[in-house]
Structure formats: structure tokens, C-alpha cells
A and B are shown apart, each in its own frame.
Chain A
Amino acid sequence: MTDTHSEPAMPLAPGTMAPDFQLPSGPDQEVRLSGFRGRPVILAFYPADWSPVCTDQMVLYQELMPEFQKYDAELFGISVDGVWCHKAFAEHRNLQYPLLADFEPKGEVSRAYHAYQAGEGMSERALFVIDAEGSVHWSYVSPPQVNPGAEGILRALEDLAARQVVS
């Protein structure tokens, strides 16, 4: 056994281009990351639908949609759960933003973002804020059982907005 759990994973670092992907957001819809150029994108990788910590975290983000919209930011949740599981989860928790299914090939996008727990077969609890040009502006991995909240996301969005004003 390697002691992978005591070491926090290093997510894809700021400054790198965010790997493009196309993932299902529903039974017959797909989302392509590069389609959102020109606006900030928040990617919230999480281990699993229905688990208590994920639920709180996803509900908190729904609650904060008006704040994210102030920055014209798009939010996507991503886990390895399938589209039907996502659909039931979103309906049950009143989540209005898309949940993307990193289901087949399993975890491929999570791996590309260095946000995959290979031993567990699930995504890390990892956050990315991607800037309007498509590069990673901020990234963070929290321990799987710890809800990272939203403060880091809001700071990153403020930071991007300030940068825009300066340039």
C-alpha cells in the first residue's frame, strides 16, 4: 500500500491550459469546455452523488449561483457517476447547474486535471477556476471528507475581475 491519502494531490497548476473535454450533462446533452471561452468557468470535481459531504457542497454552490452570475461565471459539477444518477441527484437536491458525467472512459477528465483518486475509483474533491482564455487561474484539492466551501472560488473570481479592470 502506498500512503497516497496523507499527501494532498496536486491539481493541475495555475497558468496551465485547462484540458478541453466534452462530457454528457444529461441523457442527450453534452458540454464542451472550450465552448465557454470568454467567461470564467468553475469546475467542481467531487467524489460521488448522494454522499453527505458532496451534497452539502453542491447545495451550497446552488445557493451561490447569484454570486457566480455576477462574474458571468459558468459552474459545472463533475464526478464519475452516470447521467441518470446525476439526474436523480440534481432533481432530489434542486440543483440547477449541470452535473457532468466523467463516466466513460471512467475518470478520464478527472485524470487530465490531476483530480482522480485511482485507488478509490472516484474524482478528488477538487476545484478549478478557469479564466476567459481557457487557462487554469486557481486550483485547490481538499481532503475528500472536507467540504471546501466557496470562499476560494469567490476570491478567484474577484481576482479575475480585478485583473480585467487593470488590463
Chain B
Amino acid sequence: MNTTSWEAVLTLPVSPARDHIRGPVDAPVSLVEYGDYECPYCGAAHPIVKEIQSLMGDQLQFVYRHFPLTTVHLHAEQAAEAAEAAGAQGRFWAMHDVLFENQQRLDAPYLHAYAEALGLDVGQFDRELIEHVHAGRVREDFMSGVRSGVNGTPTFYINGVRHDGSFELPVLQAALRRATSVGA
């Protein structure tokens, strides 16, 4: 072989102990997204993912991991840490939705206001952001993505294998259906 290639598969398996999971842990299909809260494509994918979750119900487990491209998205790292800080208080998904619905408003005062609106302990939230308590976790997500072949955002994995098609609803849904029938 003159060149090496690799399979684009998830190198860090989904784990309820570390991952943010929506849907049953033992669902037949797993959809993992590597995303960036400031990335417009991820913003466009967000309602599609939500729609798929409501269409598939208990058939689907959705996992979100951070892949902030801080070189071009100045607020992406802080937003990812904010989601984790909300997660530390049990509200990861609520903050996740708010961030994607407000991609143009990710400055620190907005993040503080979102934490307040979600009823979080804002003292703890602010402190965790200032001290970058969750930076290590975000970097771990990022590097796990790099090692799994994430090459842009969003990148999706279906049952651990990279989905190279588009994330338009019919395409993603068809791929997930195929995975469901294979898994059944």
C-alpha cells in the first residue's frame, strides 16, 4: 500500500457516564452529532435533528459532542462550555436548544441571561465559565471527533459510522431507517 486510509468510525464509544444522551440508552439506532454552537450549518441542522427525534421517538438515541472551530467562531468555545456548565446543573439540553436558537447572541452577557432564564445557579454558572472548568471536557470531545474523522461541522455518526450524506431531513431519515432495519 502506498497510502494509508482509515474507516471513519467513532473512536470514543457513546457512554451514558460521560455523554449527553437524549432518548433511550438502549435505542436500536444511535445518532451522534459533532457540532459548534456558532456554526450556521449546525444551526440549520438543529431543527432537523429535533424533528427526527420526534418522528423516531424511542427508536433513536441522540448524542451531542462539541467541536468548536474557535479559529473562525469566536464564541463557540465559550458557548460549548456554557452548555456543559448548564449540564453540571442538569440542564444541558435546555441550554443546548437556547444556544442553537440564538446563534447570533453568544456573548457572555447573553449566556448569563440564558442561565438565569433557565433557573440555574448563576453564581456557579458564571464561575465555571470564568475558570474554564469545562474546557477539558470540550477539548476531549473535540479530539475524539478529530480521531474519528470529523472534518467539518456538523458531522454525524449513525451507529458509530460516519454519515457522509447531507443532513437534509429525507436523507438523514433514510439513513437512520436503514440503520434501524439492519440493527433489528
**Which residues of A does B touch, CB under 8 Å?**
10-11, 13-14, 53, 56-57, 59-60, 62-64, 67, 93-95, 138-141, 146-152, 154-156
Q: Is there an interface contact between A59 and B2, defined as CB atoms closer than 8 Å?
A: no
Q: Is there an interface contact between A148 and B151, defined as CB atoms closer than 8 Å?
A: yes
Taking a contact as CB atoms closer than 8 A, the residue among A13, A94, A138, A154 that contacts B71 in the complex is A94
In Å, the complex CA distance between A10 and B128 comes to: 50
Chain A residues whose CB sits within 8 angstroms of the CB of B150 once the complex forms: 149
Q: How far is the CB of A58 from the nearest CB of chain B, in Å?
A: 9
Q: Is there an interface contact between A95 and B71, defined as CB atoms closer than 8 Å?
A: yes
Q: Secondary structure of the B side of the interface? A: loop
Closest to B150 in A: A149
- In the complex, whether B61 has a CB less than 8 A from a CB of chain A is no
Closest to A148 in B: B151
Taking a contact as CB atoms closer than 8 A, the residue among A64, A95, A138, A149 that contacts B4 in the complex is A138
15 A-B interface contacts by CB (under 8 A): A13-B2, A56-B151, A57-B152, A93-B72, A94-B72, A95-B71, A138-B4, A139-B3, A140-B5, A150-B146, A150-B151, A151-B6, A151-B148, A152-B6, A155-B4
Chain A residues whose CB sits within 8 angstroms of the CB of B71 once the complex forms: 59, 62-63, 93-95
Taking a contact as CB atoms closer than 8 A, the residue among A56, A93, A138, A156 that contacts B152 in the complex is A56
Chain B residues whose CB sits within 8 angstroms of the CB of A148 once the complex forms: 151
Q: Is there an interface contact between A140 and B146, defined as CB atoms closer than 8 Å?
A: no
Among B4, B71, B147, the one with the most A-chain Cβ atoms within 10 Å of its Cβ is: B71
Q: Is there an interface contact between A64 and B72, defined as CB atoms closer than 8 Å?
A: no
Closest to A156 in B: B4
Q: Is there an interface contact between A10 and B2, defined as CB atoms closer than 8 Å?
A: yes
Q: How far is the CB of B155 from the nearest CB of chain A, in Å?
A: 9
Q: Is there an interface contact between B4 and A60, defined as CB atoms closer than 8 Å?
A: no
Given contacts A14-B2, A138-B4, A139-B2, contact A149 B149 (CB under 8 A): yes
Given contacts A141-B3, A155-B4, A155-B6, contact A147 B152 (CB under 8 A): yes
In Å, the complex CA distance between A113 and B58 comes to: 51
Q: Is there an interface contact between A154 and B72, defined as CB atoms closer than 8 Å?
A: no
In Å, the complex CA distance between A57 and B71 comes to: 12
In Å, the complex CA distance between A93 and B72 comes to: 6
Given contacts A56-B152, A151-B147, contact A63 B69 (CB under 8 A): yes
Q: How far is the CB of B101 from the nearest CB of chain A, in Å?
A: 24
Bits for B155-174, please: 1 = Cβ < 8 Å to A, else 0.
00000000000000000000
In Å, the complex CA distance between A91 and B151 comes to: 21
- In the complex, whether B54 has a CB less than 8 A from a CB of chain A is no
Chain A residues whose CB sits within 8 angstroms of the CB of B69 once the complex forms: 59-60, 63
- In the complex, whether B89 has a CB less than 8 A from a CB of chain A is no
Given contacts A59-B69, A59-B71, A63-B69, contact A151 B4 (CB under 8 A): no
Chain B residues whose CB sits within 8 angstroms of the CB of A150 once the complex forms: 146, 151
Q: Is there an interface contact between B152 and A151, defined as CB atoms closer than 8 Å?
A: no
Chain A residues whose CB sits within 8 angstroms of the CB of B151 once the complex forms: 56-57, 60, 146-150
In Å, the complex CA distance between A64 and B143 comes to: 9
Q: Is there an interface contact between B4 and A152, defined as CB atoms closer than 8 Å?
A: yes
Closest to B147 in A: A151
Q: Is there an interface contact between B72 and A59, defined as CB atoms closer than 8 Å?
A: yes
